[in-house]
Chain A
Amino acid sequence: MSLNEEHIWRSIQKRDGKVFEHYYKEHYKFFFLAACNYLKDPRLAQEIVNDVFIKVWEDAEAIRIQSSLRSYIYRAVINRSLNELDKNKRERQHQSELSRRPEETVESREMEEQELRLRLYRAIDQLPDQCRKVFMMSRFEQLKQQEIADQLNISIKTVKNHITRALKDLYEVLGDWNSLPVWMGVIILKYFL
């Protein structure tokens, strides 16, 4: 554990609710997205993250952290998500295909990729409004450039410029992105609409 984490963890063990809350809020998006990555269900993801945090809070004294607090919670969140997924699969034939549990050896890489995705999403939020809008329409609504131009009443050239601008920015942010694992390719169109 890093010194900082060590300090945080000791405070949580001493039942310092403020530190706990701060840690939760600071890392929430990371764990939430990790769960979403498997579940594609924001409600469930929040529930799982909260369950894990509650457990951590309640059992803090008994828990021994080996590597880092963050990877401890990460692992718990992923395991819960996978359990949930197995359950869902039985219940309603969830369309998702993954079944591989991450090996411990790839765990740190997964966490790194999770971190990169978060950075990517933050970068998208930083784009100018119109630029982001065009980018989203193209990427998520799968509209043709002409369709976007028509809808927004702008020229197709402007559409291209916006998308180029967006991609350039994102490319810059993620210059060091390594290849993403197969299990990431899971989607549920439901939330894509």
Chain B
Amino acid sequence: MDTKPSHNDLPWELLVQALQGELSPDENQRFREWLALSEENRMQYEQLQRIWKDGMGDYVFYREANEAKGWEALRESMGERDVFQGGMGEGKSGEEERMDEGEERVRVGDEHGRVVMFRRWMAAAAVLLLAVGAGWWYLSGRGADMQYETAAGEQRTISLADGSRVVLNGQARIRIGKDYDKTDRTVTLAGGVAFFEVAHQAQRPFTVDAGVISIKDIGTSFTVARTKDSIKVMVSEGKIAFIEKETAASREMTAGDSICFYIAERRVRELRTRFDNAPLPAVIAALQRMSGKRIVLADAALAEKKLTVHLAGESFEDALKTVCASLNLEYKVVNEEYILYPRK
């Protein structure tokens, strides 16, 4: 009944290394041999690649999906419109019906002569839900520092006094000092992922304090993700300064740049978009990672080629064209794969 080949026969050790791009030369050799062995093998590997690359892409959103929150929001927007067409709960049992005694019902005939009901309490309930569900904030002991914390799966936008915006993903915590926009503009990210869109002010730079790292905006939007082990920064627009507080070492990052800082080792790893005389496979790996598309070299000798290129801010096809132009290559799309080959 089960026609699937047993997956225990697969050389998992090699496959895992290959998917993560960590094949040693020797493993690479063995992996190639295995791939070449049969069409079946090649297909199985492609399937795994699909799971690993394309298939996983939206998992982050899956984690954010929350039907209960969605439903609350839906009820709220229906309340707002004042057109709540009675019923939502119309299928109630008699017992529940009696519990609604206190509610106010207004019957209105609409243009089709249908009878609709507007329940005023619905809107009130929605407002209350909103107040409870919107995360929490409190005044800290020092006075008027504001703290915001989001629940898992919650996303919340905070508009700051100066017009800047912070979007918190689930389980993020930030603190905004009571003097924000008075003496300086500092926001502390205690943990989690936050996206910042900064209203630029030359005299008062915007700073994100992320513990051992601070990020100073030079007019821009960017994302910071802080865990207990690492701090990641990715710049969407404009420029920022990434500052290691202990040493005051600072580096400038521009749109498309990403950095991961490992707290324990005080070590920075660049998630690269800029390549300087880098081997073509490294550039391709980055492009694939960014686009989710598959790029294949028609000729193994191409893997030896090196190039200097900056991929940030370009569409996938433009980036690929840039790569091709600099190495005198062309590409074609076959079965959703981008195949690079030498220009004839």
- Determine whether the beta carbon of B78 is less than 8 Å from that of A193: no
- Determine whether the beta carbon of B89 is less than 8 Å from that of A28: no
- Determine whether the beta carbon of B61 is less than 8 Å from that of A191: yes
**B83 is an interface residue with CB less than 8 A from chain A:** yes
Which of A1-9, A72-80, A104-112, A113-121 makes up part of the contact surface? A113-121
**A68 is an interface residue with CB less than 8 A from chain B:** no
Q: Which residues of B contact A49 (CB under 8 A)?
A: 70
**B186 is an interface residue with CB less than 8 A from chain A:** no
For residue A146, which residue of chain B has the nearest CB? B22
**A70 is an interface residue with CB less than 8 A from chain B:** no
**A130 is an interface residue with CB less than 8 A from chain B:** no
- Determine whether the beta carbon of A186 is less than 8 Å from that of B225: no
Residue-wise, chain B 131-145 has the 8 Å CB interface mask toward A (1 for contact) of 000000000000000
Q: Which residues of A contact B289 (CB under 8 A)?
A: 142
- Determine whether the beta carbon of B88 is less than 8 Å from that of A21: yes
Residue-wise, chain A 154-193 has the 8 Å CB interface mask toward B (1 for contact) of 0000001001100110111011010111101111011111
For residue A138, which residue of chain B has the nearest CB? B20
- Determine whether the beta carbon of A187 is less than 8 Å from that of B57: yes
**A81 is an interface residue with CB less than 8 A from chain B:** no
Q: Which residues of B contact A184 (CB under 8 A)?
A: 54, 57, 292
Q: Which residues of A contact B87 (CB under 8 A)?
A: 15-17
- Determine whether the beta carbon of A120 is less than 8 Å from that of B74: no
Given A97-B316, A185-B292: A54 touches B74 (CB 8 Å cut-off): yes
- Determine whether the beta carbon of B262 is less than 8 Å from that of A185: no
Given A45-B61, A97-B315: A167 touches B12 (CB 8 Å cut-off): yes
Q: How many A residues touch the partner, as a band?
A: 35 or more
Given A45-B61, A180-B50: A187 touches B16 (CB 8 Å cut-off): no
- Determine whether the beta carbon of B292 is less than 8 Å from that of A186: yes
- Determine whether the beta carbon of A168 is less than 8 Å from that of B7: yes
Give the docked Cα–Cα distance between A167 and B90 (Å): 47
Those of B55-103 within 8 Å (CB) of chain A: 55-62, 64-65, 67-71, 73-74, 77-78, 83, 85-92
Q: Which residues of B contact A28 (CB under 8 A)?
A: 65, 67, 70-71
A interface: dominant SS: helix
- Determine whether the beta carbon of B61 is less than 8 Å from that of A32: yes
Q: Which residues of A contact B271 (CB under 8 A)?
A: 142
B59's partner among A21, A46, A121 (CB-CB below 8 A) is A121
**B215 is an interface residue with CB less than 8 A from chain A:** no
For residue A35, which residue of chain B has the nearest CB? B61
B51's partner among A171, A179, A186 (CB-CB below 8 A) is A171
**A95 is an interface residue with CB less than 8 A from chain B:** yes
- Determine whether the beta carbon of B67 is less than 8 Å from that of A29: yes
**A141 is an interface residue with CB less than 8 A from chain B:** yes
**A87 is an interface residue with CB less than 8 A from chain B:** no
Distance in Å: Cβ of A86 to nearest Cβ of chain B: 16
**B193 is an interface residue with CB less than 8 A from chain A:** yes
- Determine whether the beta carbon of A121 is less than 8 Å from that of B16: no
Distance in Å: Cβ of B114 to nearest Cβ of chain A: 8
Given A97-B315, A187-B292: A179 touches B58 (CB 8 Å cut-off): no
Q: List 9 other contacts, CB 8 Å, given A28-B67, A42-B65.
A: A25-B68, A167-B19, A171-B48, A175-B4, A179-B50, A180-B55, A185-B293, A185-B316, A186-B291
Q: List 24 A-B contacts (CB under 8 A).
A: A16-B87, A17-B89, A18-B92, A21-B71, A26-B67, A36-B61, A40-B61, A42-B155, A43-B167, A46-B70, A57-B78, A117-B58, A120-B59, A124-B59, A141-B232, A141-B260, A160-B16, A167-B51, A171-B47, A179-B335, A182-B336, A190-B236, A193-B232, A193-B234
